[in-house]
Amino acid sequence: MNPLKEALKIKDQIIAWRRDFHMHPELGYEEERTSKIVEEHLKEWGYRTKRVGTGIIADIGKEGKTVALRADMDALPVQEENDVPYKSRVPGKMHACGHDAHTAMLLGASKIIAEHKEELPNKVRLIFQPAEEGGNGALKMIEDGALKGVDAIFGLHVWMELPSGIVGIREGPFMAGVGRFDIEIEGKGGHGASPHETIDPVPIAAQVILAFQTIISRNLNPLESGVVSVGTIKAGEAFNVIPERVYMNGTYRFFTQETKKLIEKRIEEVLKGIVIANNASYKLKIEEVAPPTINDSSMASLTKRVAQKLGLKVEEVPKSMGSEDFSFYLQKVPGAFIALGIRNEEKRIIYPHHHPKFNVDEEVLPLGTALEVGLAFEIV
C-alpha cells in the first residue's frame, strides 16, 4: 500500500470535506455538525467510536501497540474576508486556523486506514477533539480516556510560515507554554483636580506595565526565550475623575519550568513592590493555561523518515511562541506535533493564522493525509 497514491486518489473528496467544514464553522465545544459528519463516516468505515461531548475517539485494528492521530475541529470568532465559493456561511465565525483542513485530512486518513485494516500491524486510535482555541479540549479528551493504551501520538497543523507542501519537523521544544495573569490595582478615587487627596491607580498601573518589560530583558537569561504581554487595561469612566481601580490582564510564554517560575515570581514581586511604594493594594491571579509542546526526539525522527519515504520535502521548523493544547497529550505519551506548509504566494495564501483572509493551499491536503496513514502503519 502506498499512502500517497491512496491519498491522491481521494484528493477531491478531502478537499470537498474541507470546504464543507469551512462553510459551516463551529466554535469550541459547539462542533455538533462537524462531529456528526465525522462520526457517521467513521461508523460506516467500521470504527468503534466513543463520544466525548462534541469530540470523538475511534479505534480500529488489532490489539497491541496503539498509535493515535489527532485533529482539532473548532473555528474562531472571526469574520471571513476571503472571496471564495466556499466562504464561511456563518457571520462572525471562520476556520481561520485551518482546523477544517485538519479534520478533512484525518478523515481522509481514516478512510484509507479502514480500507487497509487487514494490513494494519497495530491498533489506530483517532482523536477528533473540540475546542483547541483556548478551550483546552485536549484535556477533556484525555480525562475521558483518549490516551488509554496509547503508545505514540501524532498531530498535524497547517503552517503559514512554511512554503506549501513542506513538512516541518522539530525535535524537543516546538511551541511555547502559555500562562495568563489578571491584576486589580486598588487605590483611592477622587476629583481629577485633587490628586493629592487620592491614591491614583492609573500611574501605578503605568509603572507596573513598564516594569514588566524588564522581566524578559533584565531578569531572564538572554539565551532563554520568554514573553510577557499586557493585553487589556481598564480604568475609569470620566475625564475628570481619578478612578478607584485599574484592571488589566495579559499573557506570558515560556519553554521551561524555570522560565515559567521566574516570570510568575517576577510578575508578583514587581507588582507588589510598585503597589506598596504607592500605598495602594492589589489582587493577582496568575496561572498556567497550557504547557509547552515538546516533541519526543525519536518520534520526531520517525516522522521525518516516514515523510521522506513518501517522497515529501522535510525541513526543521523554527520554534514558535504560539501555543497548542496538543502539549497535554505530549505530557503523557511520546509523540510529535508536525507542521505542514501551506504558504503559496502565487495563490495569495499568505495571511497569518487567525487573520480574516487566512486560507489553506488545498494541494497539501492529500500530503497530510498520506503522512498520517504512513505513521499509522509505521509504528510496530
Q: Of the candidates 377, 310, 356, which has an alpha carbon nearest to the alpha carbon of residue 25?
A: 356
Does 353 appear as a known binding residue? no
CB of residue 158 to Zn ion, shortest distance in Å: 8
CB of residue 116 to Zn ion, shortest distance in Å: 29
With CB atoms as reference, the residue minimizing the distance to Zn ion is 97
Asked if 35 and 18 count as a contact pair (C-beta separation under 8 A), the reply is no
Nearer to Zn ion, 133 or 200 (CB): 133
CB of residue 99 to Zn ion, shortest distance in Å: 6
Beta-bridge partners for 232: 249
Nearer to Zn ion, 255 or 326 (CB): 326
CB of residue 133 to Zn ion, shortest distance in Å: 5
Q: Of the candidates 377, 375, 376, which has an alpha carbon nearest to the alpha carbon of residue 169?
A: 375
Beta-bridge partners for 177: 254
CB atoms within 10 A of CB 375: 27
**CA 17 – CA 236 distance, rounded (Å):** 49
Write the DSSP string, 105-150.
Answer: HHHHHHHHHHHTGGG-SSEEEEEEES--SSS-HHHHHHHTTTTTT-
**CA 92 – CA 271 distance, rounded (Å):** 37
Asked if 97 and 86 count as a contact pair (C-beta separation under 8 A), the reply is no
Nearer to Zn ion, 39 or 100 (CB): 100
Does 355 appear as a known binding residue? no
Does 354 appear as a known binding residue? yes
Nearer to Zn ion, 158 or 275 (CB): 158
CB of residue 195 to Zn ion, shortest distance in Å: 44
Nearer to Zn ion, 71 or 97 (CB): 97
CB of residue 354 to Zn ion, shortest distance in Å: 6
Q: C-alpha cell of 77? A: 470568532
**CA 187 – CA 196 distance, rounded (Å):** 12
Q: Is the dihedral of CA 35, 39, 42, 47 positive or negative?
A: positive
CB of residue 288 to Zn ion, shortest distance in Å: 19
**Helical ranges in 278-364 per DSSP H:** 297-309, 326-332
Nearer to Zn ion, 99 or 125 (CB): 99
Does 97 appear as a known binding residue? yes
Asked if 48 and 59 count as a contact pair (C-beta separation under 8 A), the reply is yes
Does 196 appear as a known binding residue? no
Nearer to Zn ion, 131 or 274 (CB): 131
Between the two ends of the chain, the Cα-to-Cα distance in Å is 16
Which residues sit at the interface with Zn ion, rule CB under 5 A?
97
Tell me 255's DSSP state. S
Output the known binding site for Mn(2+): 97, 99, 133, 157, 354
